Chains A and B, each alone.
Chain A
Amino acid sequence: MPMNLLTFRGGVHPPHNKHKTEHLALIKARVPGLVIIPLQQHIGATCEPVVKVGDGVKLGQKIGEPKGFVGAPVHSSVSGKVVAIEKRPYPGGGMVQSVIIESDGLDTLYENIKPVGKLENLTADHIKSIMREAGLVGMGGATFPTHVKFSPPPDKKIDTIILNGAECEPYLTSDHRLMVEKPEDVVNGIKAMMKAVNVDKGYIAIEENKPDAIKAVTQAANGEENIKVVTLKVKYPQGAEKQLIKVCTGREVPSGGLPMDIGVIVNNVGTAVALACAIDTGMPLVERIVTITGSGIKEPQNLIVRIGTPFADVIEQCGGLEEGIGKIIQGGPMMGIAQYTMEVPVIKGTSGILVLKEEDLELAPELPCIRCGKCVDACPIGLIPTKLDGFASKGMLQEAEEYNAVDCIECGSCSFVCPAKRMLVQRIRLIKADIMAERRKAKQA
């Protein structure tokens, strides 16, 4: 088994910029006065609210139930009163129906929340139902409902679970601190996941620049023969699902396929800890670790934040904003989403709030491609980004499809390295969406 400093083809080396927060211990953020809990914090169907305006709710109480199988319930992260159910700005873009709860500051626990029992006594189905009832989704940012991931069709035999602790996005240190401070939960989480699909191979993959996390998790996994801690070379996008699978197992997800097609399920370390916590205490996913950092933040920190806390509230607890800010980003600088308002809430997928000053964002004008090939060297998938850029600019869908535009994982490495500052991944995203729309149309016809 190859174990040391594994990596993948392509990739880039953006400056880490993790030094401001990587050694800061987790701190609990104060209980927010008001939370905005979107009824859709996951890929899939929006939840139906199960509370009404005026209802009293308690901490951990379910307030939204998904309509379909692909979805995850949402829970109240405070105790208090529902003051509105309406559309609010959502950090993933657009407006989403949200339950707004005024906190009474008491954190009265919902009665049904109690420890589930020992993992040894739980069946696979039981673990999967805990995943669902706790509202678990992929906490790396993709927010795919966890219980759905763990319910593959019967013909897909899963044999490997990978926990993603790479945290290759610059600036972010939430997974890093989580692994340093809660390594036992990380290991308990992967054990529960392995039991849920009855597999005996587990990997916890961590980038080399987090030696304290590697040490802590390795110690916690001591004696667990089926769990291997894998040290990865520091390179972006090391934590991309496909790259991680290749590194740990040597397998490649087929083009157009899913990890389960090759027997693998990948989860963020945060999801594993949330599962361990749900088993230990019965508490659903109502808080998460958020790294608040960047040149525009006065006192960068790693905070444990209640889901639904407005960005403005969180930023205020970090000393507020510096002068001359340019962007407020949910997530990291490579794949995060720029926000137009600080009224958006922290959701299950919010790994970081990155605030950059305007001066950090100055971008030279886009020049013609000089065909230097740096995007080709950087693409971890083996695409020719500049070619796709050309096709996308001209709306040449067929050609873009032939050049595998839909295989793009949108990591942004191409745009990062481009000396001509071309909007490569940005245009590929657009043509990808167009191709998918065409495919859907063709399917319907």
Chain B
Amino acid sequence: MGYGNLIVSSSPHIRSEETVQRIMLDVIIALLPATAASIYFFGMRALAITITSIVAAVAAEAVIQKIRNKPVTINDGSAVITGLLLALTLSPAMPLWMVAVGAVVAIGIGKQVYGGLGCNPFNPALVGRAFLIVSFPVHMTTWLSPVDGVTSATPLGMIKMEGIKTGYMELFIGNVGGSLGETSALLLILGGLYLIYRGIIDWRIPVFYLGTVAAMTMVLGHDPLFHLLAGGLMLGAFFMATDMVTTPITPVGRIVFGIGAGVLVVIIRLYGGYPEGVLFSILLMNIFTPIIDKFIRPRLYGEVKAK
């Protein structure tokens, strides 16, 4: 007949262009402005921390997958994101070996023990950061001023401990003490908008997360704009609370997640022992993701049963 072996498989026979790799690449692209700003503000230390974190995360992923006798999937870009995100949550004063430990824990305990990509209940980068906070509390809370490079407190630390408020403009541009990536709200928002435009993240999570923080701080008599711009909230809202793997899968579930995380941030910031609450707000809401997904489902077409 002149035709060779026909492929026979079940429909659909065409697929969209979208790939996991492309999604991960978009997230990396969205994080680049904030990463560049951290290098601009904090210099080569920031670059060294970023590279260390990414290399350690990717190496940990490859080694663990080799040990587990699984295909090595470092090309999917997810380990790069974990490394990059972790770096952006760290102080520029952090010793590099601690950075590497954090990245290895993020990938090892945050992701691979559960079976790798898609299986982890918690955001791996935040697991790494939580580990570092508990293990090296002093280093994790020693911050540098981007202006003169000397030790300084973060805006949230200053307002909590000393009652000094940093100006909005400095917060917005990022010329303040803090972790690498949390300083410039402007560039984080830009990156986040890019991800929303590309359809990678659901706008509902950042909008309801940030909205809840604004509304709740206002009701409790605090400055909402300061709380939105200070600390890691922008980084968390656009890049961590939106992590697909660890957040609800339905639109309504994501709204619940955003509101829950917002409430937790405000409680921790205003009444907790830590000046910053973004890390724990997201990790705690990660715990609730399975139960949110269990109870919040899309409306079924024709939900009324047939007579």
Contacts and interface: CB of A to CB of B under 8 A. Distances in A.
From B6, B10, B14, B298, residue with most partner A Cβ within 10 Å: B14
A327 B15 contact: no
A417 B14 CA distance: 10
Most chain A C-beta atoms within 10 Å of own C-beta, residue among B20, B23, B73: B20
Contacts, number: 176
A117 interface: no
Contacts of B11: 329, 333-338, 412, 425
A420 B20 contact: yes
Contacts of A116: none
Interface in B36-52: none
Interface string A365-382: 001111111101101111
A376 B301 CA distance: 13
Interface stretch (A20-28, A187-195, A205-213, A253-261): A253-261
A371 B298 CA distance: 15
Contacts of B304: 252, 254-255
Interface residues of A, number: 72
Interface stretch (B99-107, B116-124, B229-237): B116-124
Given A254-B304, A376-B250, A415 B118 contact: no
Interface string A332-358: 011111111110000000000010101
A336 B14 CA distance: 11
A321 B3 contact: yes
Nearest to B14: A333
A54 to B, nearest CB: 29
Binding site secondary structure of chain B: loop
Interface residues of B, number: 47
Contacts of A258: 306
A257 B306 CA distance: 5
A419 B18 contact: yes
B202 interface: yes
B20 A170 contact: no
B297 interface: yes
A44 interface: no
Nearest to A324: B4
B69 interface: no
B116 A338 contact: no
Given A170-B14, A256-B305, A312 B1 contact: yes
B13 A327 contact: yes
Contacts of A170: 14
Interface of A: 9, 12, 14-15, 170, 242, 246, 252-258, 261, 312, 321, 325-329, 333-342, 354, 356, 358, 360-361, 363-364, 367-374, 376-377, 379-384, 386-387, 403-404, 407, 412, 415-421, 423, 425-426, 429
B305 A334 contact: no
26 contacts: A170-B14, A252-B302, A254-B302, A255-B303, A257-B305, A325-B6, A327-B7, A334-B14, A341-B6, A356-B13, A358-B7, A367-B20, A368-B116, A371-B118, A374-B18, A376-B250, A380-B301, A384-B293, A387-B249, A387-B293, A404-B300, A415-B15, A416-B16, A419-B18, A421-B19, A425-B10
Contacts of B14: 14-15, 170, 333-334, 360, 416
**Closest 4 pairs between A and B when the two form their complex, measured CB to CB:** A257-B306, A412-B12, A368-B118, A382-B298
A418 B22 CA distance: 12
A335 to B, nearest CB: 5
A371 B249 contact: yes
A336 B8 contact: no
A328 B6 CA distance: 7
A369 B244 CA distance: 10
Contacts of A383: 298, 300
Contacts of B2: 321
B3 A425 contact: no
Contacts of A255: 300-306
Nearest to A368: B118
A387 B6 CA distance: 32
Contact of B18 (A335, A339, A363, A417): A417
B12 A333 contact: yes
Contacts of A419: 16, 18-20, 22-23
Contact of A384 (B19, B116, B119, B297): B297
B19 A364 contact: yes
A312 B3 CA distance: 10
Contacts of A14: 14, 16
Contacts of A15: 14
Contact of B8 (A252, A340, A363): A340
Contacts of B4: 325
Nearest to A358: B7
Contacts of B1: 312, 342
B107 to A, nearest CB: 15
A29 to B, nearest CB: 19
A403 B297 CA distance: 9
B305 A376 contact: no
Contacts of A336: 11, 13
Given A9-B301, A261-B306, A417-B16, 6 more contacts: A254-B305, A255-B305, A327-B9, A338-B13, A373-B202, A419-B22
Contacts of A367: 20, 73, 76, 117-118
Contacts of B7: 326-327, 338, 358, 361
B298 A407 contact: no
B249 A373 contact: yes
A382 B301 contact: yes
B301 A342 contact: no
Contacts of B115: 368
Contacts of A415: 12, 15
